[in-house]
Structures are given as structure tokens and as C-alpha cells.
Amino acid sequence: MPNDTSSRCSRSSRAQGDAAAARPRPRRTGPLAGPLPILTAAVLWGTTGTAGSLAPAGVPAAVVGAAGLALGGLLLFLTAPGSRSLPKACDGGERRLLALGTLAVAGYPLTFYPAVARTGVAAATVIALGGAPVLAGLLAWLTRRSRPSARWAAATAAAVLGCTVLVLGPELAGDGAPVDALGVLLAGLAGLSYAGYALVGGQLIARGHASGAVMGVMFGGAALLVLPVVLRSGGGGLLTERGAGVVLYLGAITTFLCYRLFGHGLGHTTPQVATTITLAEPAVAAVLGVTVLGERLPSVSWCGLAVLALGIVLLALPADTGGQDA
């Protein structure tokens, strides 16, 4: 006959174990847990503007971006485990979040690539990605009533300052044309789209849904939304060898691969931190614009890049164990 005391102890231990398992696991904040995959994706994203500009002449920029999303989004949906079952597993509020995230994803290429065509690779990328961390922080504050951390605020301020100096550098140096107002607006809308789906994806992942499934559903749905844009254009130059190569790169690398990395990173860091780390993208875009496309950046713009890098490094370093970034 078992001893009553040992039996009670055994039940108590199992109960404590069950309670511990039920508690949410704390986010890991080491570089390999979140920042590094996000930073890798950001570096690859920095090539999108340059790649899109290499599409055959006469193909509208929005069509190029939509084609890349259509291919990459469908790949994400078809290969991510749990994508097909995720909508059924979500409650009503989560389904609305998925729909909102899908719309935000679809809006990004339809605004970003036209912005690149009007303002240039470096300027469009800096405006879109420079505004995203601020918008992500504000959206998180408005929707979850959470105040961003002092560390996030300092890093974002440095990064946004660097972005501003980078994009305004030519005008400050007196050797650049005025920035296209419509291009700036489109780039700002792209930044809002990016901040929106980063926030939605982060919330759904934080609720226990697999990152791959979340990205697969949002991007698969967005692919269907933008597909009519591609079909209506008739393909045109995208059916050439050069056009197909651009779409394949944008779809397989900068969409499929990068958002798998980004989704994994969102599982271990916050959307506000993630969007600030991705400010590495405009730095890469600016360097490629100079080295590949022949765009000129004055010395003041390079100083902006240095400040931008400082903000990214501040967030990429592991956080103190006693605190938590918002």
C-alpha cells in the first residue's frame, strides 16, 4: 500500500510541473534567438529596390512587386506547416487580425516599388523603413497600451535620425534634386504597411501560433489579393528571361526565405525591436544604390549611415537579464 505522504508529494510535484509547463516561456533575447535572423533578412531586403529596378523597362513598378509577392507568398503558404489549419484554430478576434495583416502585406509592394521608381532606391527604403519602428511602437502603444522601453526609444531615435540625415544628405549638401512628394507619401504608406503586419504577426505568434503558419497565411492571402494586378498587366516583360529572374529573386529570396527568417525572429523578440533592427535594410540599399546603380551619396549621408548603424547595434546586443525590451 503506498505511503500517503509520498503520494501527496508525488501529486504536488506533478501539479507544480503542470503549472510550470502551462506558464508562458520567457522570450530568449540572445542574438541567435531573434536579432540575427531578422538582421539577415534585413540585409537581403536591402537588395529588393536594386533588384526591382533591374526589371525590363516598361513594366510598372507595382506589377514587379506584386509578382514577387504572388510567388513568394504562395511558396510560404504551401510550405509552412499548419498554414491550412491556422484559420480554423483561431478565434474570431485572431481571424480579424489575420485579415488585417493580410491587407497590410498586400499593401507593401503596391506602395514601396512605385516609391522606389519615383524617389530612388536609397530614399524610398530609408523613408519606408525609417518610419516603420516609430509606427510599430505607436501602434503597439495604442492597441496594447504598452509603453516602449527606454532602450527601444534611444535606439529608434538614433536610427531614425540616421535615416533622416541619409535621405536628406544630398539636399543638405546642395547637390541633389528635391525629394518627390508623392514618392515620399508612398514610401510612408509602405512603412505603415510593414509596421502593421509586423505587429499583427508578432501578436499572433505571442499567442502561441507557429510563426511559419502565421506568415504563410498572411502572405498566401496577400498573394491572392495582388495576383489580379499581375494578371491584368498581361505579364509583358516579366515573361522574358530577365524579368523572370527578377521575379524569381524577389519571390524566392526576399519574400519566401526572408519572411521565414523574420517570422522565426518575431517568435523571440518584439515587433518594435524587430522593425528597428530591419533599419539595416536602408543602409544596404544605400550602398547598393551607390555601387550598382550609380547613385551618389555625399559625406553627410554616410554620417547618417553611421548613426543608423549605432541604433541597430544598440538593439541587436543582448538585453540585460533584469529588464525587458518593449
| CB count in 10 Å sphere of residue 278 | 27
Contact status, residue 110 vs residue 167, Cβ threshold 8 Å? no
What is the mean pLDDT of the segment spanning 182-203? 87
Residue 35 makes CB contacts below 8 A (sequence gap 6+) with 265, 269, 273, 277, 315, 316
Residue 241: half-sphere exposure toward Cβ, Cα within 13 Å = 0
pLDDT of 82 strictly over 80: yes
What is the mean pLDDT of the segment spanning 178-207? 84
User: 121 pLDDT band (50/70/90 cuts)?
Assistant: confident
User: 16 pLDDT band (50/70/90 cuts)?
Assistant: very low
- More confident call, 301 vs 318: 301
| pLDDT per position as a tens digit, 53-66 | 888 888 888 999 99
What is the mean pLDDT of the segment spanning 233-247? 85
Task: Give residue 13's pLDDT.
Answer: 45
User: 179 pLDDT band (50/70/90 cuts)?
Assistant: low
pLDDT of 94 strictly over 80: yes
| pLDDT per position as a tens digit, 131-144 | 676 777 777 776 66
pLDDT of 297 strictly over 50: yes
Task: Give residue 103's pLDDT.
Answer: 96
The mean predicted confidence, pLDDT, of the chain is 78
User: 45 pLDDT band (50/70/90 cuts)?
Assistant: confident
Task: Give residue 114's pLDDT.
Answer: 92
User: 27 pLDDT band (50/70/90 cuts)?
Assistant: very low
User: 272 pLDDT band (50/70/90 cuts)?
Assistant: low
Q: What percent of the chain has pLDDT over 90?
A: 23
Task: Give residue 270's pLDDT.
Answer: 75
What is the mean pLDDT of the segment spanning 106-122? 87
Task: Give residue 33's pLDDT.
Answer: 62
